[in-house]
Amino acid sequence: MRLQSYFYLTLRSISRNAGKSILNIFGMMVGVFFLCAALTGYVSVRTPLLLELSRAFPEKRLIVKPKTLGIGPVQVDRTRLNRDILDKVGHLRGVKSVFPIQPVFFPVRAEGRIFGQEISTDIVVNGAPQELVKDCIQSGINFTSPLTGEPLPVVVSRYFLDLYNLGLAQSNNLPKFNEASAIGREFNLILGESTISDLISVEKSKTITCRVVGFTPDISLFGIIIPLDAARQYNAWYAGHEVTDYTIAHVEIIDIKEMDRLSGELSGMGLMVETNRDVIRQFRLALNIISGVLICFAVCIILLVAVNLTHSESLTLIERRDEIGLLYAVGANRKVVRRLFVGEKMLAGFAAGILGIGLFTILWRVAMTSMPEILRGFPVIGSAIDNMALDFRVMGAVLLFATFWGAMIGYLLICRLLRLPPARLMR
């Protein structure tokens, strides 16, 4: 059969049964829509969320601190975390890197102008090595102590920005910041001064100009992060001697299977050990359950639509038996009839796929236009939303499924009908 005749007969068959064809296309469109929603939720929402969660709670990282002792309302360190201890930690089997954190051990306040308002507040300042925050800073920026006259590069905790947007901005009726607008802004750190009345007496004071070069989602890096060598320099300036103690260290391990063993060895060295393994596992489990429920719901919708489609096509074939018998009478064989019928269902499935994917894409665009501004203030979700985009591979797979889904059902039904002799089809 010529291709032109094939398409003519296929389109004519659809047009002669336009009402039922439209109902079948609409039913398949519903199934395609929910399938798109479930797969997009798994690929385009779950994956960015897990990526952002892994950045906020690094799974292959141990956090070690000195052991503490509570004496009434006061908590004191029972052990120390210094260079000697960190050297021993770095030589343990299975340890990849050790990143020490040294805070500024004296009062510090930050001041700057935000939307024309002068703001001054006490701030927590921690020094960290460049390797720990390299994924958060802009490319080409050297996160070390700057040359004389240049601003000090700082990385700000993303949750500190959330604290401003959800707290200070709301209570003082100030505009909210987004990360893109905050990158490159400058402010001053006043070393040795505090806004707390009992700490106002100043022994030494120095003003440092800072420039924001990035935001970190790591939940354990709070406040403002400055280069570690700068923190050492400021502590030595204020104390009059070099400070070798650290308050915390991030220990990156090679294999997560070694985590329990390394935790025991670090505890034996007089250190407190914290891990993010359980936290990230719980988040991953919750996201997998939600994704699984959505996919199961979509599969149930598809099965219901398939049952309805099977019933509808069975009734349609009963009405079209004389049409099939007529094709036999003019010389068509079973192979030609199957091709015509399957081509008709493939064309209807393709149309349903286009409509279902188009409707989902429109609703996705509307949601991603209106919702980001609402969700950006929430931790993790607000950071992951920029990476949530439609995956065209998913759309292509859904379109292929829609095209062959109805055709497969129709093929089984038409094969059963064609087992009848032509004389019975003509009755």
Q: Which range in 18-27, 195-204, 313-322 is most confidently predicted, on average pLDDT?
A: 18-27
- Round the average pLDDT of the chain to a whole number and report it: 78
- Residue 55's nearest CA partner among 120, 136, 126 is 136
Side chain identity at 160, as an amino acid letter? F
pLDDT of residue 323: 65
Residue 340 main-chain phi, psi, to 5 deg: -65, -45
Question: Strand ranges (DSSP E) for 174-323?
Answer: 186-191, 206-216, 224-227, 248-253, 271-275
* CA quadruple 40, 42, 44, 46: dihedral, nearest 10: 150
The answer to whether 382 touches 49, Cβ cutoff 8 Å, is: no
Summarised one tens digit per residue, pLDDT across range 8-34 is 556 666 666 666 677 778 888 888 999
Who wins on pLDDT, 424 or 358? 358
The answer to whether 385 touches 405, Cβ cutoff 8 Å, is: no
Mean pLDDT of 322-342: 65
Each as own residue / partner, the long-range contacts of residues 416-421 (CB below 8 Å, 24 or more positions apart, any chain) are: 417/317, 417/321, 417/324, 418/324, 418/334, 418/337, 418/338
Which residues have C-beta within 8 Å of that of residue 84, sequence separation ≥ 6? none
Residue 206: other Cβ atoms inside 10 A: 13
Who wins on pLDDT, 153 or 328? 153
The answer to whether 20 touches 308, Cβ cutoff 8 Å, is: no
Q: Which range in 129-138, 325-334, 351-360 is most confidently predicted, on average pLDDT?
A: 351-360
Buried-state track 255-291, b at ≥16 Cβ within 10 A, e below 16: eeebbeebbebbeeeebbbebbbeebeebbeebeeeb
In the chain, % of residues over pLDDT 90: 5
- Residue 102's nearest CA partner among 240, 249, 242, 220 is 249
Q: What's the pLDDT band for 287 if we cut at 50, 70, 90?
A: confident
Q: What's the pLDDT band for 166 if we cut at 50, 70, 90?
A: low
pLDDT of residue 23: 78
Q: How far is 124 from 116, CA to CA, in rounded Å? A: 24
Mean pLDDT of 93-105: 89
- The bridge status of strand 248-253 relative to strand 74-77 is unpaired
Q: How far is 394 from 49, CA to CA, in rounded Å? A: 18
The encoded tokens of residue 20 equal: 């039922």
- pLDDT at position 202 over 80: no
Residue 62: other Cβ atoms inside 10 A: 23
Sign of CA dihedral 273, 274, 278, 281: negative
The answer to whether 145 touches 152, Cβ cutoff 8 Å, is: yes
- pLDDT at position 197 over 70: no
Mean pLDDT of 258-277: 85
Query: Cα 337 from chain centroid?
Result: 49
pLDDT of residue 33: 92
Question: Is residue 213 classed as helix, strand or coil in its secondary structure?
Answer: strand
Who wins on pLDDT, 191 or 328? 191
pTM as predicted: 0.67
Summarised one tens digit per residue, pLDDT across range 174-194 is 666 666 677 888 888 888 887
Residue 166: other Cβ atoms inside 10 A: 15
DSSP 8-state symbol, 198:
G
Q: Which range in 46-60, 108-122, 197-211, 284-298 is most confidently predicted, on average pLDDT?
A: 284-298
Mean pLDDT of 116-120: 72
Summarised one tens digit per residue, pLDDT across range 240-264 is 888 888 888 899 888 888 888 888 8
- pLDDT at position 234 over 70: yes
Q: What's the pLDDT band for 44 if we cut at 50, 70, 90?
A: confident
Helix axis angle for 334-370 and 3-16, nearest 10°, is 70
The answer to whether 426 touches 322, Cβ cutoff 8 Å, is: yes
The encoded tokens of residue 173 equal: 């009726």
pLDDT of residue 10: 61
Summarised one tens digit per residue, pLDDT across range 381-390 is 666 677 778 8
Q: What's the pLDDT band for 332 if we cut at 50, 70, 90?
A: low
| Maximum alpha-carbon separation in the chain | 109
Q: Lowest-pLDDT range, 160-169, 171-180, 320-329?
A: 320-329
Side chain identity at 15, as an amino acid letter? S
Helix axis angle for 18-40 and 3-16, nearest 10°, is 100
pLDDT of residue 242: 85
